[in-house]
Amino acid sequence: MTLSVQDVHTYYGRSHVLQGISLDVADGETVALLGRNGAGKTTTMRSIVGLTPARRGRITLDGTDITGLTTHRIARHGIAFVPSGRRAYASLTVRQNLALSIRRSSDSGGWTLDRVLETFPKLQQLSDRRAGHLSGGEQQMLKLGRALLSVPRILLLDEPTEGLSPAIVSDLGRWLGILKEEKITVLITEQNALFALKYADRGYIIEKGLVRHEAPASELRESTEIQRYLGVAASA
């Protein structure tokens, strides 16, 4: 599986936000998409999943052109988008939220409800709690569980640490470690660059809607220049 974004241009009205983004994510890789506020990270993800469709360029999954498809059809190709913020059905319980995401298909990809609850025991403990009563970190875990149940070929995680306390961020790190062990392909955007680079294999730095730099995560982790540019806090 390879997700390939080639020379994508995306607009909000007249505002030309993505000005020719190109990137690739290969099977089993974790790739970080980094950049300052407003660089276009979220818009890149929204373009991939068709929420803010690309006006020019091509997005392919294993060579199949998915540019211009509806968000629903793109999801059926196996791209799961986990947006930042709280997006669960607040009045439903955790278990009901998860049940809604179970893909009715013979190809479960191994991610059954039981397996998700085993992998994230906290979700099991919370299974009767209404989603609206969960903390920010618990909501993140629920969104991740739901995304896995949709049998993704690739997970797009948009700023998963946003608004979370340091303790919850370290929980989230453990979940990312699990995704990596499971060889799940991940594209992750983060303001917290060092957090993402801990788990990523490679990273792209984007600026004003263009890729400015691409390098192995180890190199980006070491580069004080990059860290200064991103305004990275020393502790992550």
Contacts with ligand ATP by CB under 6 A lie at 12, 15, 17, 35, 37-43, 191
Measured from the CB atom, the residue of 52 and 101 that comes closer to ligand ATP is 52
**Is residue 106 within 8 Å of 98, Cβ to Cβ?**
no
Question: From CA 171, how far away is CA 178, in angstroms rounded?
Answer: 11
Report the nearest approach of ligand ATP to the CB of residue 114 (Å): 35
* Cβ 103 to ligand ATP shortest distance, Å: 28
**Closest to ligand ATP by CB, 10 or 67:** 10
Q: Which long-range contacts (CB under 8 A, 24 or more apart) does 45-48 make?
A: 45/81, 45/156, 45/158, 45/187, 45/189, 46/10, 46/81, 47/5, 47/8, 47/10, 47/18, 47/21, 48/3, 48/5, 48/74, 48/79, 48/81, 48/156, 48/187
Nearer to ligand ATP, 40 or 152 (CB): 40
Closest CA to 24 of 11, 37, 33: 33
Is the CB of 19 or the CB of 93 nearer to ligand ATP? 19
In the complex, what is the shortest distance from the CB of residue 41 to ligand ATP, in angstroms, rounded to a whole number? Answer: 3
Nearest approach, Cβ of residue 46 and ligand ATP (Å): 7
Minimum CB–partner distance for residue 32 and ligand ATP (Å): 13
Query: Residue 39 or residue 157: which is nearer to ligand ATP going by CB?
Result: 39
DSSP string, 154-168: EEEEE-TTTT--HHH
Considering the complex, state which of residue 35 and residue 78 has its C-beta at the smaller distance from ligand ATP: 35
CB of residue 40 to ligand ATP, shortest distance in Å: 4
**DSSP conformation letters of 55-120:** SEEEEEETTEE-TT--HHHHHHTTEEEE-SS--S-TTSBHHHHHHHH---SS--TT--HHHHHHHS
